[in-house]
Structure formats: structure tokens, C-alpha cells
Structure 1
Amino acid sequence: MSTMFGMADGDPTPGLWNWAIGKRIDADRVCGAIAGTLERTVTPLGGGDAVMCDVYLVGGDFPTLADIYLAPAEVAEATAASAVAVRLDAAVLLPDDSFDPSRYVLAEPDGTLRLVHVDEVETDDGPERRGLRPCTGDDCDRTPERPAAV
């Protein structure tokens, strides 16, 4: 696993991934893409020992939020997000390892991974993310160069 993406691959909270998806997608399709990527059953919350996924909609440029519980430790989060982005044909945003709250890893629909910044506003429905921009500067001197994972 790469240290390039820190939190995205370092798994500081075992089995928990929090993603924002760049278009409105229904929960069944998100769960199906995750299940296909992980080759495991994915169920709504309360589904027992399977990987569980809570999908909900908010505003912003990444309006579908997916909280994935009991994610397998042997799968790198950024690799899984890359494969899900390809399956959904939608960008997937996930946390990185920096202390910069605006910096994320973006898995693009072609599977490319890169560091980006977005602005986040907390709302009653959940966090809304807007204003995607390239990561530049000293804290962004690492450029992901991983191929798509499908």
C-alpha cells in the first residue's frame, strides 16, 4: 500500500470509509458498484457481518455520500474508490492524510487518482463539498500515478 494517500490507504479507523460521489446516484447502484469492486456482499446498515453502506443525498458538487462500514482491511481505500469511480462513471472524493481540511484524494471516472482541494460546508443534511480545484503548493507536491483499478 502506498503512503501517498495516507488516510485513504492508512485506514486510521478500521473498516470505515467516507466517500462523496460527484453525481446523484441511487443507493442500490452505489452498493452494487462497491460489492462488485470488493467481490463481497454489501448491504444497508444493520446487514450483519457483510460490508454495510449508508448512502444519502446532499447538495454541492458531490451530492451522493456513501459511508462504508466493515470495509476489508486488505483492500486499499484509494484503490477501491478508483474502481468504484470507474464502475459508476463518476468522481469519488475521499479523505487524505494531511491536516488540511480542504484536501482530498479524487478518484476520477477513468480511475486516475489525484490530490485536490474542495470547500466543505456542514448542513443539516450532511457535508456539502464545492469548488474542486487542483492541489498546488508545498503540501501537494505528491502526484498520484496509479492506474485505474477495475
Structure 2
Amino acid sequence: MTELWNWRIDGAAPVEVYPALAEALGRVVMPLAVADPVRLPAYAVVCDVWEAPGVYGTMIDCYGVPERLRELPSIAALAKLLERNCLMRDDTLDAGRHLLVAPDGTIRPVHFDVVETDEGEVLSDQRLCTVAHPGCRGWSQCHRSQWGPDSVAPALAAA
């Protein structure tokens, strides 16, 4: 079985993302636009990288990721290589809640305002997920996550 990963990066050009992805994953990375399923090496990961409006506007979709590759260490390696913050969806159903992975490997939950556009979701107004904010207190979805409000963890320890 294979996985699908959806990530965002804070301001990285697609041309610099592909080689960093290959290094972070330890695999050949094939851009979706040129990937030929007949000639695709068994160890390759197909990825699509594009620019969207808003903060964290560099979007990454990785298709067919082998399940033995772990997502948190992989995105942490990418953040470190690019020296940029990265985002991934968290384990709640809140469209505005993500995990922020910093270049130093720190992971923490954050919230954004989300607006749907013709070009996809646009994120704005980043804030930490903390019990100091009324939306993260009490019975919020934040408390149902393994990444509760105010949680901070290193990527490799959290994976």
C-alpha cells in the first residue's frame, strides 16, 4: 500500500523543491507532468509542486509514497534542507489547523484562516494553537488531536 502526502512550504520555488525532495525522501522524485507510469522506476516517488496564492503558497503533492517512509521525518528533512517552514495537515478535521514543521525540526500545531478560491485553499493569519486562544479551549477539536494546544515536539521523536 502507498500513501499520498500534501504539504505546503513558505516561499520556495518549485525548481529548488524537487532536488530537496529527492534528498529528503532518499528516492528519485519524478515530476507529475513528465512521469510515465510504464517507465517509472519502482523506487521513485511522483510529486507535483506548484505555486498558489497566500502564505505557504508552494504546494507539494507526493503520490505513491511507500508506507515504510515516514511522513514527519521526511517533511522535517525537507524543512531543514530548504531552511524554510513547512506545513502538513494534522489529525483533526479542522481545515485551518496544520502542523508547522520548522527547519530545526520543531513541530507545533497552528491555525490559519482559510478561504476557498478557484486556485485552491488560500491560508492567512497564522496563529499558534494554544489554550490562551478561546477557539482552542475546552471541547475544541484541538484537544482530540495527538498534537494538543501548546504542544511542541522534535520531528524525529514525534514520528
Same structural fold, with TM-score higher than 0.5 when normalized by the shorter chain: yes
Deviation at 1:144, TM superposition (A): 3.3
- 2:28 matches 1:20: no
C-alpha separation between the residues in 2 aligned to 1:107 and 1:66? 14
> Higher relative contact order by CA 8 Å / sep ≥ 6: 1 or 2?
1
CA deviations over 1:62-82 (Å, ceiling 9, x no partner):
110011111121122122111
| Structure 1 stretches of at least 4 aligned residues deviating more than 3 Å after TM superposition | none
Selected match of 1:134 from 128, 133, 144:
128
Residue 7 of structure 1 is matched in structure 2 by: none
Output the CA distance in 1 between the equivalents of 2:95 and 2:118: 19
8 A Cα contact 2:100 2:110, kept in partner: yes
Counterpart position of 1:115 = 109
Q: Mapping of 1:36-55 within 5 angstroms?
A: 36-45=23-32, 46-47=35-36, 48=40, 49=42, 50-55=44-49
Matched position secondary structure for 2:154:
coil
Give identity over the alignment, percent: 37
Q: Which runs of 5+ in 2 are unaligned?
A: 132-136, 143-147
Q: CA RMSD in A?
A: 2.0
Deviations 1:77-119 (A, max 9, x none): 1221111011111111100101222111111122211111112
Secondary structure of 2:54's aligned partner: coil
Deviations 1:111-150 (A, max 9, x none): 211111112222222221111110023423361322569x
Aligned residues between the structures: 136
* TM-score, L = length of structure 2: 0.77
Residues 1:143 and 2:158 aligned together: no
* Mean Cα deviation higher: 120-129 or 54-63: 120-129
2:127 partner amino acid: R
Larger radius of gyration: 2
